[in-house]
Amino acid sequence: MHKNARKNIIYSIILLMVVFLVYLYRQNQQSTSVPVPEKEGKMVISGETMGTTYRIIYLDQLNRDFKASVDSLLLAFNQSLSTYMEDSELSRFNRQDTLVFESPFFPTVLEKSREVHALTEGAFDPTVGPLVNAWGFGPEGGQKKGDSLAIPQILRWVGFDLIQFDSLKAWKSRPEVYLDFSAIAKGYGVDVVGDFLEAKGVSDMLVEIGGELIAKGTNENGELWKVGINTPEEEAGAQDIFSIIALDNKGMATSGNYRNFYVKDSVKYSHTIDPKSGYPVNHRLLSATVLAEDCMTADAFATAMMVMGKEKAIEWEEKMENISVFLIYNDSSGMRTYVSEQLKPFVSHLKEDIQE
């Protein structure tokens, strides 16, 4: 009995030592293993710019606040391309014949405008400014009746071929030429902010200015960023979402005539002016949403589609690469949609609609 008791004690001690060694081994393994990185912090900043608002969501492991830098960047951007600032580069160019570029923004937007103007056969034309002003949708406001305007005369001042530029300066063929980048500037501003954040090491972001936006990477849940398309009705609020689109590293812009218009003498005047006819467009296309590799391109093409109307817009889209569209229009059956084939897997409809 005495020998067995001593053996049991020895076995117990050995067992305890083994357990202790296993414990030390596991502790050592845990302390020397590679730590799992913390989830990147979600940052949200917002503010005002270009007569509207901006909102930016980005993931940053360092939780850096870039609001001050973004505000400074957008201030410089406005100082170049705003038609509402009298001392901006654009405003000064509109008052004179020649301008030596002071920032990279002006020549970049001119180059993109020339490209989109050619691709859309003139449907997008930033020299439409005199017509925009004449119809009461420019910086000075006012609502003027079309039949009292000298449209044929004003049309002589419209045409992108009246603008020439090189890497250093821009000049006009006629002093009356007036540039208006309102149909492309917000999209370009989105890209500028997105590029700034990327340069700071941010790869996951959603940048939005006045409804135009770009998405890169994924959200905090590792999913594609999802954005809503507003219901194209005058009384619809921001919360009235028609459909949701998941953005896979794309820029997106929407143009429509369902809010920015006025009625005078029982005639409805849309803010979208056809550069060729000189008159506000009159068709059944309610809104055009365009997805492209960058937001500046999407912004310009969305405006061009609102000028074209539904049939021409669809015909044009079928010829284009790297462009997807979501069109909402009216016909005798009510509100209907057209969605590019490559975009359909990324769209979720929230309201009943009739697909073409």
pLDDT digit string (tens) for 102-155? Answer: 999 999 999 999 999 999 999 999 999 888 888 877 665 554 555 445 889 999
141 and 21, same domain (yes or no): no
Residue 69: partners with Cβ closer than 8 Å, 6 or more residues away: 196
pLDDT > 50? residue 32: no
Supply the range of the domain harboring residue 46.
41-355
With a pLDDT cut of 90, the percent of the chain lying above it is 66
Question: Mean pLDDT across the chain, nearest whole number?
Answer: 84
The reply to whether 31 and 61 lie within a common domain is: no
CATH number of the structural domain spanning residue 84:
3.10.520.10
Burial letters 320-354, b for 16+ CB under 10 A, else e: eeebbbbbbbeeeeebbbbbbeebeebbeeeeeee
* Band of residue 24 on the pLDDT scale cut at 50, 70, 90: very low
Extract the tokens encoding 64: 């850096």
Pair (256, 312) in one structural domain: yes
**In terms of domains, do 78 and 19 share one?**
no
Q: Which residues of 288-315 are buried (b: 16+ CB within 10 A; e: fewer)?
A: bbbbbebbbbbbbbbbbbbbbbbebbbe
Higher pLDDT, 239 or 341: 341
User: Which stretches within 135-227 are classed as H helix?
Assistant: 151-155, 185-199
pLDDT class of 264 with cuts at 50, 70, 90: low
Is 80 exceeded by the pLDDT of residue 262?
no
Residue 173: what pLDDT?
94
Predicted confidence at residue 39, as pLDDT, reads: 47
State whether 29 and 54 are in the same domain.
no
Most confident of 35-49, 180-194, 227-241: 180-194
Asked if residue 189 and residue 123 are part of one domain, the reply reads yes
29 and 125 assigned to the same domain:
no
Question: Has residue 185 got a pLDDT over 50?
Answer: yes
If pLDDT is split at 50, 70 and 90, which confidence band does 271 have?
confident
Q: What is the pLDDT of residue 181?
A: 95
Q: How many helices (H) and strands (E) does the chain have?
A: 9, 17
Q: How far apart are CA 190 and CA 67, in angstroms?
A: 14
Query: Which whole number is the average pLDDT over 249-277?
Result: 75
pLDDT value, residue 133: 82
pLDDT-derived band at 332, boundaries 50, 70, 90: confident
DSSP-based three-state secondary structure for 222: coil
pLDDT of residue 251: 98
Is the domain of 165 the same as that of 300?
A: yes
User: Would the pLDDT of 23 be above 50?
Assistant: no
Is the per-residue pLDDT at 235 higher than 70? no
Q: Measured between alpha carbons, how far is 51 from 23 in angstroms, rounded to an integer?
A: 65
Same-domain check for residues 156 and 169: yes
Say whether both 50 and 31 belong to one domain. Answer: no
Are 153 and 73 members of one domain? yes
Question: What pLDDT, on a 0 to 100 scale, did the predictor assign at position 15?
Answer: 42
Residue 14 in this model has a pLDDT that exceeds 50: no
Among 27-36, 117-126, 206-215, name the one with the lowest average pLDDT: 27-36
Per the model's pLDDT, the better-predicted residue between 225 and 139 turns out to be 225
Least confident of 89-93, 122-126, 153-157, 261-265: 261-265
Which residues are bridge partners to 164 per DSSP?
171
Domain count, the chain: 2
| Whether the predicted pLDDT of 35 surpasses 60 | no
**Helix (H), strand (E) at residue 229:** strand 225-230
One-letter amino acid at 323 equals I
d(CA 181, CA 164): 16
- Does 144 share its domain with 177? yes
